[in-house]
Amino acid sequence: MKRIITLICFVAIAALHNTALAQTEHRTWSQGPLTWDDFTLMSKGGNEQAYLQYELSYTPVHDTIDGILSHYYLAEACMLPNRSWVVADHRTPELLRYNQVIFDMLEVERRTLQRSLNTSDNPRDYENMLYAADDRLNTRIASFRIRTQDGSDTTDLSTFEKQIRHELSMLPAHYQPTYTPHPFGFAAYFSIGASCHLGTMGQDFTPGLAIGYGFDFLWKRHVFNIEMYMGYSDARRTLALYDNSSFSQASHTFEKGKAYNNGVINVGYGYPLIDNTHFQLAPTAAFSIRNLSTVRNQTERFEYTRLEPAIGLMFRYHFWQQNSFAHYSALFGSRRISERDRISLHGKLMLSYSSFPRIDGGPSGINLMAQVGLAFGERYHNVE
C-alpha cells in the first residue's frame, strides 16, 4: 500500500514538473510584455547582444462552440525562452524594447496567418501559407536588425514600435468561428412504427407494423419532404374488390385472415414551431398516396390506390452534432460555409383520411401512423 501511495505521489509531482516545464518552454504574446527573465539560455557570444528565438505554426482545434463540437485551424506563435539569450551586462531597457518589437512582429504575422487560414477552403494550402508567413517574418526581422544594428542604434525604434502597434490594432487577437444559419439544409431518415385504422376501415383491416424512410429539404424555416412507409394489414373478413367499370362485379377478393401490403407515399410541407440547436418540432401537411395490394402469386396479384389528405407532427432531438471544416462554394455565393452534421432521434405522427369505395362496404376512416427512428442530416452555416 505504501508503495502504491509513493508511486501516485511520484506521478503527480512529475506531472506538475512537466506542466511547469512546458509553460517555460513556450512564451506567447498574450502573456504580456517580455522581461529579461524570458531569456534563459546561456550567452553564445558573438556580435549580438541578445537573441530571441521564436516559433510560428498552426494546429487543428476541436472545440465546443454553442454546445456543438467544431473543427477549425488556429495559428500559433511563441517565443522559446530556453533557446533565447542575452549577454548578462547588456540587459538594458532599450535592448529589451528592441526584442519586444521582434516579439510584436511575430504576433502580427501570427494574426495575419490566422486571417489566411480563415479565408481558405483547402487545408493542403496551409503549409504554403505557413512558409510564406515565416519568410515574410524573417525578411522583416532581418531588415529591422540592419536598421537598428542589432539593437545598438535606437534612433528608429519608436517609429517601428508605433507601426507595429498600429498593425496589431488592425488585426483581431483571438479567433473563434461564429456560425450563422444558412437557408439550405437536408436530412434523410428511416423509422419503424405501426399504423392503426379507425372507423369502418378498422372494422375491415387490422393494425400492422410499418417501416419508413424519407428525405427533407430545408429552406430557411420551410421543410419540404417526401417519404414512404411500407407495412401490412390483415383483412378481418372476406371483402370483394369491385371492378372499375362495374361496382356490381368483383375483380378480386380480400380474404379473411390474410395479410395485405399497406404502402403510403407522402409529399408534404412543414413549418417548425421550434427549431433550435437541439430540438425541432414541426406540424406538417401532406398529400398521401395509399396503396393496398398483394403480390403473393400471379393469380392473386392486385392493387388498389387512393389519394388522401394527411396532417402530422414531426419531432427531432439532435443528440450528436459537429461543425465540419468550413469551405467556400459557388453554390452559396462564395461565402464561407460550414456543414453541421447531425444525427437525430426522429419521431412522426401522421393522420390521414382513407376511403375505399371499390371495396365491399366502402370502408373509410382515419388512419393513424406513429413512427420512431433516426435522421441523418446537414444544415449549412455561414462562418466568420
pLDDT in tens, 204-261: 999 999 999 999 999 999 999 999 999 989 999 998 888 776 666 778 888 898 888 9
Per DSSP bridges, beta strands 179-197 and 208-219 are antiparallel
* 262-305 residue pLDDT tens: 899 999 999 999 998 899 999 999 999 998 888 665 567 788 88
Q: What is the pLDDT of residue 3?
A: 39
Quick one: average pLDDT of 302-326? 91
* 169-192 residue pLDDT tens: 999 998 888 888 889 999 999 999
3-state secondary structure of 199: coil
Instruction: Could you list the beta-strand ranges (E) of the chain.
Output: 50-51, 54-65, 68-79, 85-86, 179-197, 208-219, 222-234, 239-242, 250-254, 259-270, 274-275, 279-294, 302-323, 327-329, 335-355, 364-383
Strand partners, 158: none
Beta-carbon-side half-sphere exposure of residue 244 (alpha carbons within 13 Å): 4
Q: What is the pLDDT of residue 2?
A: 39
3-state secondary structure of 50: strand
- Inter-residue contact 200 to 364 (CB < 8 Å): yes
Q: Give Cβ neighbours of residue 339 (< 8 Å, ≥ 6 apart).
A: 323, 324, 378, 380
Higher pLDDT, 253 or 104: 104
Predicted TM-score (pTM) of the model is 0.76
Higher pLDDT, 25 or 216: 216
Min mean pLDDT across 61-65, 172-176, 325-329 is at 325-329
Q: What is the pLDDT of residue 122?
A: 77
Structural domains in the chain plus CATH codes: 24-170 (no CATH), 179-383 (2.40.160.20)
Higher pLDDT, 24 or 248: 248
